Amino acid sequence: MKQNPRLIDVLYRAETGPIMDEADFERGLLGPEIKKLAQKYDIRYTGEEIINCNDDLADRVFQAALDLAGEVGVFNQSTSRRILWSREEIENDLKSVPSVASLGNGEQQFLITSRKPDDRKSMSVLGGVVGIPFPEDMYLPLVLSFLKQGIFDSIDGPSLETAYGQPIKAGTGFEVLGAWREAELVQEALEAADQPGRAVSAVELAPTALGGLAGVTWGGYRPFDRHHVPMTSELKTNNDLLAIITHINNLGGVIGAYYNPIYGGHAGGGEGVAILAAAGLILSYQLTLGHTFCTRPTHPFLGCDTTREILWATSLATQALSRNSNLMTAALAGPAGGPGTKTIIYENAAFALMALSSGVSELLASHSAGGAVPRHGSGLDGRICVEIARTMQGITREEANHLLEKIVPLYESDLESKPIGKPFEEVYDLESVEPTAEWQGIYDQVRSELFELGLPLDHFDSAGSK
Amino acid sequence: MGHKARIVEVLHRAETGPIMEEEKFERELIAPTVKELIKKYDIKYDDKVVVNSDDDMADRIFQAGLDLAEATGMFCQSTSRRIVWSREELLEGLRHAPAEVVMGAGVDAVTAKARVPDDDARVVVAGGAYGVPVPEDMYVPMSLSYLKEGVIDVVDNPSLESVYGYPVKAGSPWEVLAARREAELALQAANIAGRPGICLGCVELSATALGGLAGVSYGGYRPTDWLHAPIMSELKTNYEMLSIVTHSIRTGTLLEAYYNPIYGGYVGGGEGIAIAVVGGLILLNQCHPGHTYNTRPNHPFFNCDTTPEMIWAIGLGVQGLTRNTNLLVDTLVGPAGGPGTKTMLYENAAFVAATTVSGQSLMTSCHSSSGGATPRHASGLDSKICGEVTRAVRGMKRDEINEIVKQITPKYVDDLDKNPIGKPFEEVYDIDKVEPTPEWQGMYDEVKEELIQLGLPLDRLV
């Protein structure tokens, strides 16, 4: 049999698992289970650390996540059934999780590898705006603003607001057209940057399976690109997403699964987010048979993942997984700040230090301005993340935590003021695809500040790095 | 606007055209319009004629088809809107339709070209089980039974009954899996037959857009294969089909659009079928802009398209189009008879002789045994007879073929209501050797000889 038997098993369980109301799944099952596990494993957020430095706590979170995954499974919204695996099956499958993935082609091919906390191994960095809406005529310069820096391992584009001037309606021929238009534009950008083999993320515009299937085909996105498959909050999938999973498995593509628990929702606070994020990524592997597993817990009011408590929860979840499995975890920086603000650079720097020291295999940068404000993203937004990743490999959690104690106070009081900054066209010259003098000046100023705080950014040499 | 660039306009009109209830579209718009056009253009079925050779009638049918296309447009079920076009737009669309297309790759590629009635040019022969349901373990031998026949240029395969032993549910991930499994098996069969580049009809299993999109991708069906996008009877499309069309256009995959009007339904009898074929294929060119355009009208009780009246109607519709446009027209023969019956061989011979001299560019065969609805009832010989007749009759005149077909139809018409579905594949073929049984081969040879005696030059070499 050519097909992965586990995929068929997933599809089978998605149609035969126990039936439950969606509301009951979250309220009656998930919420109470997380509370119970936080107590059982004594997982408590004390506010003493921003990055967790306690190995025992990380291991307890891993056990709690295994319990949660085995207890609740994934809810299939299309069949109202739970897709269940026993804890034994989950542990057994985790043993064969891929610990390395190859993305890109030719000169731009690179590897993502499994890492451990405090690891000296390199962390990959993806640059892009990860689906922030952009108009068609701004797609090319925006993507080029990342590509032309030559420092990112892979690229993630924006979502198109229209395709050939037409609004894109989900589940229609326009979604097919939109997916294609996106693939067409990103390849135009790769050609313009002379980086044809650079891995890009597919498909940003796939509200149903149509976009996900139509974009990855002859002449469109390629198997060596990264293929996104989300799980809906909390722990939910549907037949559209399962169809995309099947398609990418069929063509042998690299799956970048992601799951973003909501802080303060059914997960509760930081303790619950940590357990849920770890369980969600374990279940993402069970569900997608994928390669990298990204999380980006979301603050419901601030739209970011850079508060002290969420940073702590994310560090704890990724450490739990990286200490106890070979799962290649990824984390998406979601700053509240946007282009043209100091806030975003501080936030992204803090997030990068957390990810690097916690054993994350890949950092995605960034969901600027919370990721939801049209045109609020720029190439310079993610640069600080690369500079940190390349100059501070091997930094320990204690060292990183010490730095965050200095960095987080620089931005946390701004988070509530929605510091979304300026749209792309006001921080970049669209013709030359260069940051404005003002935006570059702000960046350089913050970089100097960070250097003064102890980050050895002067060692960063981007020339020929990618 | 170029032929395929029109898709954006199609999608736009599908969302902005006049709203109408689906039932009213068929009952109050299509049916009365077809009736009116039959009168206006004086279209009459003469049961003494099976193959029309009246050029004036063919031209009138073309005008009637254009009128129909303009009056009704295509109905989009997803939006309850009509996708409508002015006559000038329809004519513009026809002017720029491809008149030639390469199908397949490398040495296995063939070229379909626009033809006219009585044309001597070769017709592309497509053969296969055309979606007849088969179990997974029978897929490759059944496909090979067609691939082995040198007369077949393009293969269109059966449908899988299951995927890895599981049922295939429409609109679910199983459809995605099945589409891929189908492609995998179809390519495997083509490779075994030593025809890796042969053009393959696809995706048989695409009840929704998921199958159509998933099957044509890396490692699956190729842009040189032949993606199918039908419309529903009568003159109805939806977002699933428009998504497949969009996918085909953007990937540069060959597209076959098809429309199968129902005899005795909203379009009425033979006269209405002929008009609907023309109007439908003109609208396909406009709304599903692809490369080849197929029709396979269906008799609601016999599930076939081989009654004399239907052969007349289809031939007339094809002539209306091939005399007046460069559309690459093809027809699918759907016999009531099945493998192991003489009925099917007669039906197939009569149908393809009539449609080939009517100017079709491709001959597609066949929907064996009650129109392709009987699991496992299909075999390579079913299409071989079609290929042989198609090759033999090119260049012959319609009136000449009319006389021959009139001698063939009496050999099977009385059997049509007897459900002559014949035998399943495993009873007419040795599955290991992929060879017809002596009984089935003997029957084939006997009928072939009869047809030669009736005047079909099946023994011609050039």
pLDDT tens column, B423-440 = 999 999 999 999 999 999
Q: B322 forms bridges with which residues in the sheet?
A: none
Do the Cβ atoms of A180 and B246 come within 8 Å?
A: yes
Give the pLDDT confidence score for residue A448 in this predicted structure: 97
Which CATH number goes with the domain that contains A381? 3.20.20.460
Task: Specify the pLDDT at position A2.
Answer: 47
> Architecture of domain B100-454 in CATH?
Alpha-Beta Barrel (3.20)
Asked whether residue A401 carries a pLDDT value surpassing 80, the answer given is: yes
Domain count, chain A: 1
Task: Quote the minimal CA–CA distance from B104 to chain A in Å.
Answer: 15
Residue of B nearest to A181 (CA): B250
Q: Which residue of B has its CA nearest to A220?
A: B251
Q: What is the ipTM of this complex?
A: 0.89
Residue of B78, B180, B218 to mutate, testing the A interface (most A Cβ within 10 Å of its Cβ): B218
Q: Do B250 and A213 touch (CB under 8 A)?
A: no
Distance from the Cα of A312 to chain B's closest Cα (Å) equals 37
Query: Could B213 and A8 be called an inter-chain contact, meaning their C-beta atoms sit closer than 8 Å?
Result: no
Question: Per-residue pLDDT averaged across B73-87, rounded?
Answer: 98
Facing B243 at nearest CB: one of A11, A210, A250: A210
Contact assessment for residue A126 and residue A364, using Cβ atoms and an 8 Å cutoff: yes
Task: Provide the token pair at A74.
Answer: 């994934």
SS3 per-residue string spanning A410-457: HHHHHHHHCCCCCCHHHHEECCCCEECHHHHHHHHHHHHHHHHHCCCH
Evaluate whether residue A44 is within a structural domain: no
pLDDT tens per residue, range B20-49? 999 999 999 999 999 999 999 999 999 999
In tens, the pLDDT along B306-359 reads 999 999 999 999 999 999 999 999 999 999 999 999 999 999 999 999 999 999
Chain B residue numbers touching A222 (CB-CB < 8 A): 218
Whether A70 is in a domain gets the answer no
Nearest to A251 among B218, B246, B251 (CB): B218
Closest partner residue to B11 among A177, A214, A220, by Cβ? Answer: A177
CA-CA distance, A56 to A62, in Å (whole number)?
Answer: 10
Instruction: Locate the chain A residue with the closest alpha carbon to B184.
Output: A2
Contacts with B78 from chain A: Cβ below 8 Å = 172
DSSP secondary structure string, A215-278?
Answer: HSSTTSS-TTSEEEEEEBTTTEE-HHHHHHHHHHHHTTPEEEEEE-PBTTTTT-SHHHHHHHHH
Inside any domain, residue A253: yes
Q: How far is B253 from chain A (nearest CA, A)?
A: 9
Q: Please name the member of B15, B176, B216 whose beta carbon is closest to the beta carbon of A246.
A: B176
Average pLDDT over residues B380-388: 98
Q: Check residue B205 and give its pLDDT.
A: 82
Residue B112 has pLDDT above 70, yes or no: yes
Whether residue A89 lies inside any domain: the answer is no
Give B205-253 pLDDT, tens digit per residue. Answer: 888 999 999 999 999 999 999 999 999 999 999 999 999 999 999 999 9
Report yes or no on A92 lying in a domain: no
Element (H, E) at A59: helix A55-72
B221, closest residue in chain A (CA to CA): A218
Q: Do A243 and B12 touch (CB under 8 A)?
A: no
Residue A277: inside a domain, yes or no? no
Q: Which residues of chain B does A14 touch, with a Cβ-Cβ cutoff of 8 Å? A: 173
Give the model's confidence band at A466: pLDDT under 50 very low, under 70 low, under 90 confident, else very high: low
Burial status of residue A23 (CB atoms within 10 A of its CB: 0-12, 13-18, 19 or more) = exposed
Rounded to an integer, the average pLDDT of B75-91 is 98
Judged by CB atoms closer than 8 Å, whether chains meet at A214 and B12 is answered as no
Chain A residues with CB-CB distance to B15 below 8 A: 169, 172
What phi and psi, each to the nearest 5 degrees, are found at residue B130? 45, 60
Given an 8 Å threshold on Cβ–Cβ distance, is A218 in contact with B164?
A: no
A contacts of B176 (beta carbons < 8 Å): 209, 213, 243, 246-247, 250
pLDDT of residue B72: 98
Give the chain B residue nearest A14 (alpha carbons).
B173
Instruction: For B255-308, write each residue's pLDDT tens digit.
Output: 999 999 999 999 999 999 999 999 999 999 999 999 999 999 999 999 999 999
pLDDT higher than threshold 90 for residue A144: yes
Confidence tier at A215 by pLDDT (50, 70, 90): very high
- Fill in the amino acid letter for B438: P
Residue A254: C-alpha distances to residues A206, A249, A322, B175, B203 (Å): 17, 8, 20, 21, 25
- Cα–Cα distance, B363 to B294 (Å, whole number): 9
Give chain A's radius of gyration (CA, Å). 21
A205 to chain B, closest Cα gap in Å: 15
Residue B177: which of A78, A223, A246 has the nearest Cβ?
Answer: A246
* B221 interaction partners in chain A (CB closer than 8 Å): none
Residue listed under structure tokens 């970049």: A428
The predicted model gives B1-15 an average pLDDT of 83
For chain A, what is the mean pLDDT?
Answer: 96
Beta bridge pairs of residue A236:
A75, A232
Q: In whole angstroms, what is the distance from residue B80 CA to residue A238 CA? A: 27
Q: Write down the pLDDT at residue A269.
A: 97
How many CB atoms are located within 10 Å of the residue B165 CB? 9
Contact A8 B164 (CB under 8 A): yes
Identity of the residue in A169, A219, A253 whose CB atom sits nearest the CB atom of B251 = A219
Q: Which residue of A has its CA nearest to B171?
A: A239
Question: Which pLDDT does position A463 carry in this prediction?
Answer: 45
Asked whether residue A4 carries a pLDDT value surpassing 90, the answer given is no
Q: Give the count of Cβ contacts less than 8 A between chain A and B.
A: 133
pLDDT at A1 over 50: no
Nearest beta carbon to residue A164 from set B8, B15, B245: B8
pLDDT tens for B396-407 read: 999 999 999 999
pLDDT band at B1 (very low <50, low <70, confident <90, very high): very low
Per the structure, the complete domain to which residue A145 belongs is given by 100-266+285-298+323-459
Alpha carbon separation from B260 to B52, B208, B229 (Å, rounded): 20, 18, 12
Distance CA A340, CA A84 (A): 46
Q: Could you tell me which residues of chain B have a Cβ less than 8 Å from any Cβ in chain A?
A: 7-8, 10-12, 14-15, 78, 164, 166, 169, 171-177, 180-181, 184, 209-210, 213-214, 216-220, 222-223, 239, 242-243, 245-247, 250-253
CB distance B209–A180 less than 8 Å?
A: no
| pLDDT computed for residue A465 by the predictor | 54
The model carries a pTM of: 0.93
Q: How far is B331 from chain A (nearest CA, A)?
A: 27
**Average pLDDT, integer, range A178-183:** 95
Nearest to A11 among B15, B173, B222 (CB): B173
Residue B154 in this model has a pLDDT that exceeds 60: yes
State the Cα angle at B361 between B359 and B367, rounded to 5°. 100
Decide if A145 is inside a domain.
yes
Q: What are the residues whose beta carbons fall under 8 Å from the beta carbon of B186, sequence distance 6 or more?
A: B139, B143, B155, B157, B200, B202, B221
Nearest to A228 by CA among A371, A149, A126: A126
Residue B461: pLDDT band with limits 50, 70, 90: confident
User: B82 φ, ψ to 5°?
Assistant: -90, 135
- pLDDT over threshold 50, residue A464: no
State the pLDDT confidence band at A139, using cuts at 50, 70 and 90: very high
Interface contact flag, B166 A11, Cβ < 8 Å? yes
Most B CBs within 10 Å: which of A13, A166, A217, as the mutation test of the B interface?
Answer: A217
- CA distance linking residue B396 with residue B356, whole number of Å: 9
Distance of alpha carbon A396 from alpha carbon A55, whole angstroms: 12
- Asked whether residue A426 is assigned to any structural domain, the reply reads yes
Return the axis-axis angle of helices A136-147 and A173-192, rounded to nearest 10°.
40
- Does the pLDDT at position A121 exceed 70? yes
Among A174, A214, A247, select the one facing B247 at the smallest CB separation: A214
Q: Which residues pair with A101 in a beta bridge?
A: A112
Q: How far is B160 from chain A (nearest CA, A)?
A: 16
Q: Are A173 and B239 a contacting pair at CB < 8 A?
A: yes
Q: Which residues contact B207 (CB under 8 A, 6 or more apart)?
A: B170, B171, B175
* Residue pair B180/B135 in contact by the 8 Å Cβ criterion: no
Instruction: Give A-chain residues touching B172 at CB under 8 angstroms.
Output: 11, 15, 78, 239, 242-243
Interface test with A, best of B172, B175, B203 (most A CBs within 10 A): B172
- Rounded CA-CA distance B89/B435 in Å is 51
Mean pLDDT along residues A125-133: 97
B3 band by pLDDT with thresholds 50, 70 and 90: low
